[in-house]
Chains A and B, each alone.
Chain A
């Protein structure tokens, strides 16, 4: 016993180092499983507050650009509204999809793009009706999925995350594929599992797929940059350019499916 204590006393530096490193690696390997972020949740409010102070300062310098972007979006929405009113009056058909989703506007308080696993923090949380697994979009395209919420903030799993995976479809022929993020560049993603007989050109539009439980279908994702033929002749891959610019992300919308609980309870039965 005394020998053991003396040994620990003598080598306390090395032992402590090993203990701390093991703790780090355990924490790291746990955070790889992105649904178990217990520690993240407790600190989210404090961290979110500090980030919000920082982004408050930064926002002053971007006011002009932000205004322009919002004005542009407003114009687009007005245009769409006038079309919608037109069609509604002329045909008396109510578009069901209009009432299926609620858009909750939010501001990005922190956003990273240069890690292997990127997260975004927004300034809306549980109190505003945000729950995990809701989808997040920007005016230009999809952004990610809500991972974790605290009372006033939410952490979003960005598309720029090595674990992110989204079912997409091509606008041209409705073919399904899977979007991943493998490259270290925040402008480009990789669409995998494309059947070999399909041919795509640069600029073809990629939308969210119809089978996703999280994303509404036909949201803008990006455009095809380059198609890679598989050397073994099975499924091809394509590099796509995200329509969302993650580097300048400021305003986002969280999309809430009003019938999500109903859908879930139906699914749970079988």
Chain B
């Protein structure tokens, strides 16, 4: 199937999954996983950078429309998209991958992917929670929320990837 269509389906599915299911998970007051960031993480590696930014902005805005916080998620995902080329370079080191179209578990391995998602999720959660509190006054609380939410987000992302990877292999 065309990569663009797959990405559009992924966009819609992740936004709905986030706003209809994940947003209702309540683990204490501090844990808020944001799984939709997976969309930005899985965009093709050789995608033009400006498209990358628009994709990040777009999915953030979609989630914002549902949460009534215009600009909040969009700001965080745009920053994440901006940092992505740098993070991929940083995580891969000298490893080159011309043959790989988009970051995936099966070709790059679990360790690579965990390192990649830790960086991406931390950037996103940091931007999101700082923008949300709109000040550096509550820094302690913000850091606590990042440290508690990020592991849950990463765990959910890896679970989703395993779920969809294995179903593809079986086909």
Determine if B23 and A112 form an interchain contact, defined as CB atoms under 8 angstroms apart.
yes
Determine if B57 and A20 form an interchain contact, defined as CB atoms under 8 angstroms apart.
yes
> Counting CB contacts under 8 A, is B68 at the interface?
yes
Task: Give A13 to B48 CA distance when docked, in angstroms.
Answer: 9
Task: Give A13 to B54 CA distance when docked, in angstroms.
Answer: 11
Determine if A28 and B29 form an interchain contact, defined as CB atoms under 8 angstroms apart.
no
Task: Give A29 to B135 CA distance when docked, in angstroms.
Answer: 12
> Counting CB contacts under 8 A, is B53 at the interface?
yes
Which of A21, A40, A185 makes the CB contact (< 8 A) with B75?
A21
Range, interface on chain B? 20 to 34
Task: Give A268 to B55 CA distance when docked, in angstroms.
Answer: 48
Q: Which of B18-70 contact A (CB under 8 A)?
A: 19-20, 23, 26, 29-30, 32, 49-50, 53-54, 57, 60, 65-70
> Counting CB contacts under 8 A, is A119 at the interface?
yes
Determine if B50 and A31 form an interchain contact, defined as CB atoms under 8 angstroms apart.
no
Q: Which of B53-108 contact A (CB under 8 A)?
A: 53-54, 57, 60, 65-72, 74-75, 78-79, 82
A-B contact count (CB 8 A): 93
Which of B16, B49, B66, B72 makes the CB contact (< 8 A) with A13?
B49
Determine if B75 and A25 form an interchain contact, defined as CB atoms under 8 angstroms apart.
yes
Chain A residues with Cβ below 8 Å from B49 are 12-13
> Counting CB contacts under 8 A, is B165 at the interface?
no
Determine if B29 and A184 form an interchain contact, defined as CB atoms under 8 angstroms apart.
yes
Which of A24, A113, A114 makes the CB contact (< 8 A) with B78?
A24
Determine if A184 and B72 form an interchain contact, defined as CB atoms under 8 angstroms apart.
no
Determine if A28 and B72 form an interchain contact, defined as CB atoms under 8 angstroms apart.
yes
Which of B23, B50, B70 makes the CB contact (< 8 A) with A28?
B70
B interface secondary structure, majority: helix
Task: Spot the interface stretch: A43-51, A164-172, A207-215, A256-264.
Answer: A43-51
Task: Give A50 to B49 CA distance when docked, in angstroms.
Answer: 32
> Counting CB contacts under 8 A, is A17 at the interface?
yes
Q: Given A13-B49, A24-B71, A54-B20, verify A184-B141 contact (CB < 8 Å).
A: yes
Determine if B78 and A47 form an interchain contact, defined as CB atoms under 8 angstroms apart.
no
> Counting CB contacts under 8 A, is A93 at the interface?
no
Task: Give A27 to B67 CA distance when docked, in angstroms.
Answer: 14
Chain B residues with Cβ below 8 Å from A20 are 53-54, 57, 74, 78
Q: Given A21-B79, A50-B16, verify A115-B71 contact (CB < 8 Å).
A: no
Nearest opposing residue in chain B for A114, CB measure: B32
Task: Give A32 to B29 CA distance when docked, in angstroms.
Answer: 22
Task: Give A37 to B68 CA distance when docked, in angstroms.
Answer: 9
> Counting CB contacts under 8 A, is A4 at the interface?
no
Task: Give A54 to B22 CA distance when docked, in angstroms.
Answer: 12
Q: Given A13-B53, A24-B78, A184-B29, verify A116-B67 contact (CB < 8 Å).
A: no
Task: Give A17 to B65 CA distance when docked, in angstroms.
Answer: 21
> Counting CB contacts under 8 A, is A16 at the interface?
yes
Task: Give A99 to B119 CA distance when docked, in angstroms.
Answer: 60
> Counting CB contacts under 8 A, is A81 at the interface?
no
Which of A155, A184, A185 makes the CB contact (< 8 A) with B68?
A155
Determine if A28 and B131 form an interchain contact, defined as CB atoms under 8 angstroms apart.
yes
Q: Which of A34-88 contact B (CB under 8 A)?
A: 37, 39-40, 43, 47, 50-51, 54
Closest 5 CB pairs of A and B: A27-B71, A28-B71, A24-B75, A54-B20, A24-B71
Known: A51-B19, A110-B66, A119-B67. 16 other contacts (CB 8 A): A13-B49, A13-B82, A16-B50, A16-B53, A17-B78, A21-B75, A24-B60, A25-B71, A25-B75, A26-B71, A27-B70, A28-B70, A30-B70, A31-B70, A40-B70, A114-B32
